Amino acid sequence: MSNKISVITVVYNDVGHIRETMESFFSQTWEDKEYIVIDGGSTDGTADIIREYAGRVAYWCSEPDGGIYEAMNKGIAHATGDWINILNSGDMYCSDKSLEDVMKAVAGTEADVIYGNSVEVHPRFKYNRFADGDVSRLDYTPTFRHGSSLIKASVHKRYLYDVSKKKALGYALDWEMLHRLYKDGFVFRKTDVFIEEYLLEGVSNRPYMNLWYNYKITSGSRFDAKRLLFMLVQMLNVLKANSRLTEFIYSFILEYVINGICPHIPFWTLRRPLLRLGKMRIGKGSFIMRKCYFMNANLLTIGEYSHINRGCLIDARGRITIGDNVSISHNVNVVTGSHDAQSHDFMGIFKPIIIKDYAWLGVGCTVLQGVTIGRGAVIAAGAVVTKDVGDYEIVGGIPARKIGTRNPNLDYHCHGWLWFT
């Protein structure tokens, strides 16, 4: 596959965000890229900021248009890359390596649409939104954020946003286009990369209207009993999620049951179903000792024959995935949550942690957000891990650095079960 990426930003009167969005593009380490900016004739100074970057932009214009999707189509017409990504004003890439990580993740594979995870920016915190790897679910609902996808340019130029349906589908024409690609048999490929972060206050933050548009798109605007039922169930879920009763039950299970009751139950066979009641995914043969503290146990996945010892803090607010045969020693901290120290309002930030098969985390070590611990890696006692650890690496110190290499010929299960533990 060729890998030149055309990034398109559409904007209208957004002087407060356009600069940071443009800087997010220019900070990308992926070099084979071009930038296209379509401004709808802004009068608030937005065009003046774009003009400052004119020498670094492949194409830009500032003129009235028929709205966001007409502007996107205009940008697609000027794209010369092999892939097209939409970076709306106010949105940013999750890291300077987002585009590079995407292209490396799909290297050597065939795809027409590449998609990944997103970060939802709330007024006081950021929340990870994970894309669904089950492509068949696109027959019923969007499974990823439009901005966190790259579409092959040769395909996108044939499948534009259908502005003739703007009156019927409003702000959902991006999903309508993606659904057409799915129904016509194009190849969608998921990557675990976090691509874009977006502001929650966007035009599409209307859950009930989103579900109505989704029904019209997936049903072809015809009566469809299965999709109608799907819409009604999803509306009920939204209603429940926003109720005080649901909030109370959610807190009761995830906090009081898991962290108040479970630590005092002496038998694993009784604790395990309660942890699973909180949606914790626990594989065959895995074991968790008493007196551990879990934050958002519903976002914790543990593979088979893994062992978590006493006194551990497992903060899964940003999602934690633990593989098979992983040993986590006493008093280990695995922390996905943090704050932006430079933020005036102390914004919360949550990033996932992945701990791969056969990893061993020593007594009292700390693994911080956004880190991947490689297969068979060893974290020495008391170490503080701030960066990814490679397969079979042994690291120690504060911050942790490589101090050795482990034997890669590993073949064992972790057995930590004892009565009353």
Phi, psi (deg, nearest 5) at residue 148: -95, 45
CA–CA dist 101, 107 (Å, integer): 10
Q: Please report, as a single letter, which amino acid is at residue 16.
A: G
Q: Is 366 helix (H, G, I), strand (E, B) or coil?
A: strand
Write the secondary structure of 86-132 as one string of H (helix), E (strand) and C (coil).
ECCCCCEECCCCHHHHHHHHCCCCCCCEEEEEEEEECCCEEEEECCC
> Helices marked H in 264-366 — which ranges?
268-277
Q: Are 85 and 8 in contact (CB under 8 A)?
A: yes
Torsion of CA 84, 87, 89, 91, to 10 degrees: 170
Task: Supply the residues annotated as catalytic.
Answer: 339
Q: Is 321 helix (H, G, I), strand (E, B) or coil?
A: strand
CA–CA dist 256, 419 (Å, integer): 24
CA–CA dist 219, 135 (Å, integer): 17
Q: Is 220 helix (H, G, I), strand (E, B) or coil?
A: coil
Phi, psi (deg, nearest 5) at residue 223: -65, 130
> DSSP letter string over 19-88?
HHHHHHHHT-S--SEEEEEEE---SSSHHHHHHHTGGG-SEEEE---S-HHHHHHHHHHH--SSEEEE--
